[in-house]
Amino acid sequence: MEEKVIYMLSAVAVGWAVTFALRALPFALFAGRGRNPPQGVERFGKVVSPVVIAGLVVYSYSTLDAGGGPAWLTPWPYLAGALTVALQLAFRNSLASIVAGTALYMSLLSFSGCSSLPDSIELDSRHPVLSISGSSVKFADRLVSFNKVPRLLKSYDVPYDRPIHILAEGDLHDLRPARQLMAVLCKAGYTRPVLVRERHTESMTVERDAHERGMRGSPMAPPPPERRR
Amino acid sequence: MLRQFSRQGGRGARFAVFSRAVVDTLPILMGYSTMGFAAGVLMSVESGAPFAPLWAGLSAFAFVSGTLSFAIVPALASSESLVHIAVLALCVNFRYAFYGFSMIGRWKNIPLLQKLFLVHSLADEIYALDVACAVEDPAMNRFYCLCNHALSVMYWVCGTTLGAVAGAALPIPSKGIEFAMVALFLVIFTDQMRDAWKKR
């Protein structure tokens, strides 16, 4: 918790410092000396800025995640992007374009069944559902934040007393992220997180939302303790 | 400077400029409070940070940049290095380095603190209003810029904080909400292309 706070503080400070430095650059360069900026500078900016933004469009497309795989392999982000650009060209209302595009993308994702997670997970120490490398956590091979992990486990109806294996990948010089994840799990009621270095054998499959599918009470997923809901 | 104030009618003129800024920033109120709300929801849902509303408000005030507020969330969620965040900020806000050039002349001889605040909050829509400002008297023009910046920043910070509070409290469906950032870049790019096209 404390580390995250310090990290957030420094992240905000870094973001501010870079942004402010960019904004102050023209003033630092030209204000003091009473010189006027050369004509070329503004023209340069007008050429470079769209190029940078175009790069950002490509980059942000590549980071979109439609569950099992990257979203840029599906048509959904392109349809939503086309709607955004078309609305912006027609009405020049940035907010409306962004909201409409995002709403279309969100509904396409949910209707296409591009669920962001698999239907079932293996709670198997050979294929641990959780893995940690450096300071990033993966749930079913999907990068997630620490605090999301308990919610995800809950959505699969994982019993609280079930050992949850966390695969430590790479060399663990810094144990703090792993400890933080285990603390998060313990705090949420999952009392038996286990940090493993290698994959072992012992298998169990848990269906997602087994409760809603009437799977509750099956031998695969024993009824969870009282505090569950 | 003092003489100009009294010639213009002193406090009355200032009030007139202020109310003009209030009216002119109404579109910004609509845009920033709702965009901020979206950024706040995203931050509280995705970033995995404790006390999300606090961070949302603080970062909104520190960045005064919707682009960075959206773009930083995935980086925060996976605890990327500070260098990564610095490069990210440099890329998404590169365009801000060119806004100041047209303001150098206008913002000469301003008290340092006011000038720092003006530079700190030189974001897209705020800059557009500054440029379009038709107040001719230089002192009043600067006062208009100050009002514009202060009001817009207030809308932005309030919108973001409220969004983060709502995002933490309500079960807002969030799958795919990260597309808002892509859409924001697309919108900025579309506008830049249109401007470039028009100038031909």
Q: In a structure prediction context, what are the per-residue pLDDT tens digits for chain B, which is 200 residues long?
A: 444 444 445 678 889 999 999 988 887 887 788 788 888 888 888 777 778 889 999 999 999 998 899 889 888 888 889 999 999 999 889 888 888 887 887 888 889 999 999 999 998 888 878 887 778 888 899 999 999 999 999 999 999 999 888 887 776 666 777 788 788 889 888 988 888 888 76
Helix (H, G, I), strand (E, B) or coil at A142: strand
Q: How confident is the model at residue A223 (pLDDT cuts 50, 70, 90)?
A: very low
Instruction: Give the per-residue pLDDT at B117.
Output: 96
3-state secondary structure B64-113: CCHHHHHHHHHHHHCCCCHHHHHHHHHHHCHHHHHCHHHHCCCCCCCCHH
- Contact indicator for A119, B188 with CB cutoff of 8 Å: no
pLDDT at A222 over 80: no
- Choose, out of B43, B70, B126, B185, the residue to mutate when testing the contact with A (most A CBs < 10 Å): B185
Q: Which of A8-12, A80-84, A137-141, B187-191 has the lowest mean pLDDT?
A: A137-141
A98 and A149 in a common domain? no
Instruction: Give the per-residue pLDDT at A34.
Output: 57
Q: How confident is the model at residue A221 (pLDDT cuts 50, 70, 90)?
A: very low
- Contact indicator for A164, A130 with CB cutoff of 8 Å: yes
**Beta partners for residue A139, in sequence order:** A130, A142
Across residues A166-171, what is the average pLDDT? Answer: 78
Across residues A84-111, what is the average pLDDT? Answer: 89
A142 and A81 in a common domain? no
Range of the domain at A47: 2-111
Q: Which chain B residue's Cα is nearest to A47?
A: B196
A101 and A197 in a common domain? no
**Total structural domains within chain A:** 2
Instruction: Give the per-residue pLDDT at A37.
Output: 65
Instruction: Give the per-residue pLDDT at A182.
Output: 87
A157 and A63 in a common domain? no
Residues with Cβ within 8 Å of residue A81, at least 6 apart in sequence:
A61, A101, B182, B183, B186
- Tell whether the torsion through CA atoms of A177, A179, A180 and A186 is positive or negative: positive
Across residues A116-135, what is the average pLDDT? Answer: 74
Burial of B103 (0-12, 13-18, 19+ CB in 10 A): buried
What residue ranges do the domains of chain B occupy? 12-198
Helix (H, G, I), strand (E, B) or coil at A124: coil
A146 and A103 in a common domain? no
End position of a domain, from candidates A111, A139, A159: A111
Instruction: Give the per-residue pLDDT at B128.
Output: 79
Instruction: Give the per-residue pLDDT at B62.
Output: 95
Instruction: Give the per-residue pLDDT at A220.
Output: 45
Q: Which chain B residue's Cα is nearest to A136?
A: B78
Q: Please report the ipTM that was assigned to this predicted complex.
A: 0.86
Contact between chains at A89 and B30 (C-beta distance less than 8 A): no
Chain A to chain B Cβ contacts (< 8 Å): 217
Of the CA atoms within 13 Å of residue A25, those in its CB half-sphere come to: 17
Of the CA atoms within 13 Å of residue B77, those in its CB half-sphere come to: 21
End position of a domain, from candidates A111, A135, A162: A111
pLDDT at A149 over 70: yes
A101 and A136 in a common domain? no
Q: Which chain B residue's Cα is nearest to A12?
A: B59
- Choose, out of B68, B153, B179, B200, the residue to mutate when testing the contact with A (most A CBs < 10 Å): B179
User: Measured over all CA atoms, what is the biggest interatomic distance in chain A, rounded to whole angstroms?
Assistant: 80
Q: Which chain A residue's Cα is nearest to B193?
A: A50
A191 and A130 in a common domain? yes
Q: Which of residues 164-203 of A touch B (CB under 8 A)?
A: 177
Q: How confident is the model at residue A219 (pLDDT cuts 50, 70, 90)?
A: very low
Contact between chains at B186 and A101 (C-beta distance less than 8 A): yes
Instruction: Give the per-residue pLDDT at B98.
Output: 83
Nearest by CB to residue A60, choosing from B48, B122, B181, is B181
Instruction: Give the per-residue pLDDT at A184.
Output: 85
End position of a domain, from candidates A60, A78, A111: A111
Highest mean pLDDT among A30-44, A111-125, A149-163, B15-29 belongs to B15-29
